[in-house]
Amino acid sequence: MKKEEENGRIEYAARQEGITNAVHDILTFIGEDPDRDGLRRTPERIARMYDEILAGYNTDPQAMINDALFDVEYDEMIVVKDIEFFSMCEHHMLPFLGRAHVAYIPRDKVIGLSKIPRIVEMFARRLQVQERMTQQIADLLNDSLRPQGVGVVVEASHMCAMMRGVKKEHASMVTSAMLGRFKSDARTRNEFMQLLNRRSATII
Q: Which residues are catalytic?
A: 89-92, 130, 158, 160
What are the strands of the beta sheet with 95-105, ordered from one edge? 127-128, 78-89, 95-105, 149-158, 173-180
Residue 169 three-state SS: coil
SS3 string, 127-183, reads: EECHHHHHHHHHHHHHHHHCCCEEEEEEEEEEHHHHCCCCCCCCCCEEEEEEEEHHH
Residue 131 has a CB neighbour count (10 Å cut-off) of: 13
Helix (H) or strand (E) holding 189: helix 186-197
- 144-175: string of b/e by CB count within 10 Å (b at 16+)? bbebbbbbbbbbbbbeebbeeeeeeeeeeeeb
Report the relative pairing of strands 127-128 and 78-89 from DSSP bridges. Answer: parallel
Residue 83 three-state SS: strand
CB 140 within 8 A of CB 119: yes
